[in-house]
Amino acid sequence: MPMERWQRRAVYWTIALLTLSGLTWLVAHFFLRPVTEFGESVSPFEPWSMKLHGAVAMVLLFLLGSMLNNHIRRGLRAQRNRNSGWSMLALVALLVLSGYGLYYLAGEASRPLWSWLHWVIGIGFAAGLPLHVWLGRKSRI
């Protein structure tokens, strides 16, 4: 079910910004850690990419809510592109849960596991979205 132009663009830009900010954090965390006289330090890109990532995640949640009536409900009724649609919804739910876990539940010992889960699921979501769009456009023909 096609979305309105504003909604489609907002979703694409939001997911692009989420992906970019998440990848920026990964690169900063693993490859751009400056070494000081006291050892490795946090990259200045880490906190900024994390703050941007969290803010844009809230925008995506709003946009997903706006998609419930037209895009998702109508897609389910038309029985089109359901497998990839359910997959995308499941990945978003896992991203929300793992993001919540990172922010509120993870301790120092479990943080690396929560973090790893979140970025693996996030990369899977970013990779799966073009497939979902392609399958949806293909099913219209």
pLDDT in tens, 41-90: 889 899 999 999 999 999 999 999 998 888 888 888 888 788 888 999 99
* Rounded Cα distance, 83 and 20, in Å: 26
Res 79: pLDDT: 81
pTM: 0.86
Beta-bridge mates of residue 39: 36
pLDDT in tens, 81-113: 888 889 999 999 999 999 999 999 999 999 999
Side-chain-side CA neighbours of 107 within 13 Å: the count stands at: 1
